Structure 1
């Protein structure tokens, strides 16, 4: 991995309180970036920032804590407004926050299947709202932390909440496919990356063993570096650029997903 400095960069990492997100924040901060750490609650976000100051060679002045519970889209809107106001020049958004779909079909107060909302819709809304701050200068980008499981997925267009036929693995995979498709949206330069099977809370979905979160995070951090050129919509399996599932690059699918997401997050015109 590159050891180049990221000192002028400002990066927002969602789900930065544990696992790959926390390690991504650590590595970015250690390389000099200003890191905006998102947590589900203000307390969790502040605790993550304090942990990094205590355990790493990180300047507290370069860490900013933000909070939003992604099961409530109004909290996403509130956080986005605060980020734009306080950091009008944002170089990178790392859409990392994720949850395993629960055993039982669960719907948020916004009316969406919970994994689809937390893993995709909240990130879709956040990215749209942060578009004014995301720099169009070379190197500005969105990095979606996706999953190889997107290859097993299909988007249930007629029933995206999977109310009629629910499977936790299918629901999780659908959310990861949607996030991968979203990277090909032409509005913002974006890529997706599968950081490998890591020993995090999501490990039971994949395997019994995984690499450390720090190893997975290194592949995410690499893509945050302006020195690493990207092609919009590219998908990486760790450090290697590979073809995503065919649906992820189909114009019709991209447009259809944007229309569905706009409807579900209340951005209809």
Structure 2
């Protein structure tokens, strides 16, 4: 996919991998919509840097609130009626102690996964044939299974488990979505950008990782790569996700539970 005439929506774009991807995308695309939780005044310097010939829009939304996710979807649709690429990158680390959103969900699950599905649903009508959805997962999805009877981890919570489960949910959802959208000509690609030196990584694992620009480049590669829908790319290599991520029965059960949690 060429980027020069495209409209791209990028969540989690005000820090870490998302900000790095935004800086790489801005000189190449026609329109860039970025999302973050910060007030617009805090993001103004970044928007100024990203501007120039590119039309840049900022949408503020805290993904711990479904109301704000829905509002973000409405604002994005108003700003850009047609979308070529949606990159769902927003994410938080698992907290040291279990935290619950005002919507009643474990925070990591809601921000990383449930909000992603809700925003994607709201924006799907604007993504036209030939478009692509890129969902950012993680190789940590292999570290756990989905607690389908207790996705909110009311029993046995720990930070890494919460994060890994949210990333496994993203992969399972993405593969199911790829099948659903195949007839519409909209691709779904999921990536693990690698072990990147971000606040998220350091919050859970203490340090390490390569520069955020590496993660930003992996996002761009996922947008432009000539790969089939449903592809999972782990740090530049096409690989098979875990068995559970590829299990259609698990995906169906997850979809039903997801709908229940968002409507709750």
Q: Check whether TM > 0.5.
A: yes
1:145 aligned to 116, 129, 136, which one?
136
Match runs of 1:194-233 below 5 Å: 194-204=192-202, 205-206=204-205, 208-225=207-224, 228-233=225-230
CA RMSD in angstroms comes to 1.8
5+ long unaligned stretches in structure 2: 182-186
Q: 1:73 aligns with which of 52, 66, 73?
A: 66
Residue number in structure 2 paired with 1:191: 189
For residues 98-109 of structure 1, what are the structure 2 equivalents within 5 Å? 98-109=91-102
Farther off after superposition, 159-168 or 70-79? 159-168
Q: Which 5+ residue runs of structure 1 have no aligned equivalent? A: none
> Could you list the per-position Cα deviations for residues 198-256 of structure 1 after superposition, in whole angstroms to 9, with x for gaps in the alignment?
1101223346311111111101111212xx22322211012211011111122111211
- 1:77 Cα deviation after fit: 0.4
Bigger shift: residues 125-134 or 30-39: 30-39
Are 2:13 and 2:22, in contact at CA under 8 Å, matched by a contact in 1?
A: yes
Q: Post-superposition, which runs of at least 4 consecutive aligned residues in structure 1 deviate over 6 A?
A: none
Q: Scaled by the length of structure 2, what TM-score is found?
A: 0.91
Q: Indicate if the aligned counterparts of 2:10 and 2:18 stay in contact, CA closer than 8 A.
A: yes
Alignment of 1:45-194 (within 5 A): 47-48=42-43, 50-51=45-46, 53-54=48-49, 58-59=51-52, 61-136=54-129, 138=130, 140-184=131-175, 185=177, 186-188=179-181, 189-194=187-192
What's the offset of the Cα at 1:107?
0.9
1:144 Cα deviation from its structure 2 partner: 0.8
Distance 1:62 1:259, change over 3 A: same
- CA shift at 1:76, angstroms? 0.4
Q: Distance in 2 between matches of 1:33 and 1:238?
A: 27
Is 1:252 aligned with 2:245? no
SS in structure 2 of the partner of residue 150 of structure 1: helix
Deviations 1:28-75 (A, max 9, x none): 1122342101011332xx544532533x6x426521100111000011
CA distance, structure 2, for counterparts of residue 123 and residue 229 of structure 1: 24
1:37 lines up with 2:34 in the alignment: yes
Q: Are the structure 2 counterparts of residues 230 and 33 from structure 1 closer, same or farther at C-alpha, using a change threshold of 3 Å?
A: farther
Q: Given that residues 7 and 34 in structure 1 are in contact (C-alpha distance below 8 angstroms), is that contact kept between their aligned partners in structure 2?
A: no
Structure 1 pair 169/49, CA: closer, same or farther in 2 (3 Å)? same
Which secondary structure state, in structure 1, belongs to the residue aligned with residue 83 of structure 2?
Answer: coil
Instruction: Quote the Cα distance in structure 2 between the aligned partners of 1:167 and 1:193.
Output: 24
Query: Aligned partners of 1:5 and 1:48: how far apart in 2?
Result: 27
**TM-score normalized by the length of structure 1:** 0.89
Aligned to 2:236: 239
